[in-house]
Amino acid sequence: MKRLLIVVSLLCVAVMGCAAANITSSLRQSRLEGGDVQTRCEPCDMRDANQLRKILQMYDGWQVFYISEFTTQHIVGSNGVICFERIRK
């Protein structure tokens, strides 16, 4: 029984162990001119609307210039990063 469990476990790891990552990103050219540009990037869970709302409120007045999303077959939803920019005050 123990050997069967080990074999089944190894088969599961072999079948599900390695999955390609799906990475989606969007980069836009900055439209900010003059002065020093400040940038900040925040990691986020794209499945969590409350976390996204908090991040967007924290950077109210900033412009989004980069968003990247990372997911694999093994997780439901995805992780990502959002980058913001503004003229340094």
Split at pLDDT 50, 70, 90, the class of 74 is: low
Per residue in 19-47, pLDDT tens?
A: 566 666 666 777 777 668 888 999 998 88
User: Token digits for 15?
Assistant: 């079948």
pTM: predicted TM-score of the whole model, two decimal places: 0.65
Count of CB atoms within 10 A of residue 80's CB?
Answer: 20
Sequence ranges of the domains in the chain: 19-87
Helix, strand, coil percentages in the chain from 3-state DSSP, rounded to 5:
30, 35, 35
3-state secondary structure 5-72: HHHHHHHHHHHHCCCCCEEEEEECCCCCCCCCEEEEEEEEECCCHHHHHHHHHHCCCCEEEEEEEEEC
